[in-house]
Structure 1
Amino acid sequence: MSFKSTILSSLAAVSLAATAWAGSEIKVDDAYARSSGKNAKAGAAFMMIVNQGEADDRLIGVQSEVAARVELHTHKIDDAGVAKMVHVEEGFVIPAGEGHMLKRGGDHVMFMGLTEPFEHGETVPVTLIFEQAGEVKVEIPVDLERKEDGAHSH
């Protein structure tokens, strides 16, 4: 291998290592996905996202091939007191050294136009996209039996 090839190979390896390291600042804990049944056209995912880095980051997007559209959502109460789900285009800030909970009735990942039903015990491949950490790939288990009892928060 020539000196030039060795240098180029080394630079490529360092670039890949830096990308993997950036994503390691983000930790995803206690994730699960669910839908309302076998014929559901929509589903959601919930999790604790922890920023182990020294700078704030922002979850700005999400991708998955399990649905026609995947978005970051939250619930807002309108003037009539009715809760509505809305797309949060600006994403969610994940403060340095802290976490941000995606939970039922609050911020969450929304899957619309499911390509196939969510099956209990299967996993959903999801790519979380952060301003600083870049893409973080996670396999989220489908749990159709889980009850929200407050144990989800950390």
Structure 2
Amino acid sequence: MKVAKLVSFGVLLGLLGGVGVSFAFAADPVVTVKNAWVRATVGPQKTTGAFLQIDCKTELTLVKVDSDVAAMVEMHEMKMDSGTMKMREVEQIACVPGKTTELAPGGFHIMLMNVHKPVKEGDHIALDLVFENKQKKKTTVKVDAVAKGLNAAK
């Protein structure tokens, strides 16, 4: 009976993935990704950003992001440096248990570069987030991010 409840709960969580929430779990969710969105492109623009929130129950590190919509995907950070806002690629983003890790405009974010076609408001963009735990075991979380217009902040 307990197994049937777990399976039903897992099916329900999988269905919720279609609304921009994804889960990776065994008996209990380890990683929860919520509020995933991508900024729609304008005109011939070939680069855009993806943003989301990560909650985890154990110490994890986001080590890679993939998406079929772009030729290249990188994790970046925006940071003030001598009075100038600069963006740089980062190799990983630490996720602390009990604290939401925010990937948002003006901070950590995901860059989708050389997108294969324009990203229009309302499009659904698949992202594969690869997390690594302290034992170097990797887990991939599939995320459905919805494209929002140019002025979207969250």
RMSD of the TM alignment (CA)? 2.0
Name the structure 1 match of 2:74: 71
Unaligned runs of 5+ residues in structure 2 are: 1-23
Give the 5 Å matches for 1:92-131. Answer: 92-131=93-132
Cα gap change, 1:22/1:95 in structure 2, threshold over 3 Å: closer, same or farther? farther
Name the structure 1 match of 2:48: 43
Cα gap change, 1:99/1:22 in structure 2, threshold over 3 Å: closer, same or farther? farther
- The answer to whether the aligner puts 1:135 opposite 2:151 as a matched pair is no
Q: Which runs of 4+ in 1 moved over 3 A?
A: none
Normalised to the residue count of structure 1, the TM-score between the two structures is 0.75
CA contact (8 A) 2:40 2:150 kept: no
Name the structure 2 match of 1:83: 85
Query: Equivalents in 2 of 1:73, 1:107: separation in Å?
Result: 6
Name the structure 2 match of 1:9: none
Equivalent AA in structure 2 for residue 85 of structure 1: M
Q: Which has the higher strand share?
A: 2
Q: Which secondary structure state, in structure 1, belongs to the residue aligned with residue 105 of structure 2?
A: coil
Unaligned runs of 5+ residues in structure 1 are: 1-18
Cα gap change, 1:44/1:23 in structure 2, threshold over 3 Å: closer, same or farther? farther
Q: Which secondary structure state, in structure 2, belongs to the residue aligned with residue 131 of structure 1?
A: strand
Name the structure 2 match of 1:16: none
How many corresponding residue pairs?
A: 127
CA contact (8 A) 2:36 2:143 kept: no
CA contact (8 A) 2:65 2:73 kept: yes
Q: CA deviation at 1:145?
A: 5.0
Query: Equivalents in 1 of 2:28, 2:37: separation in Å?
Result: 20
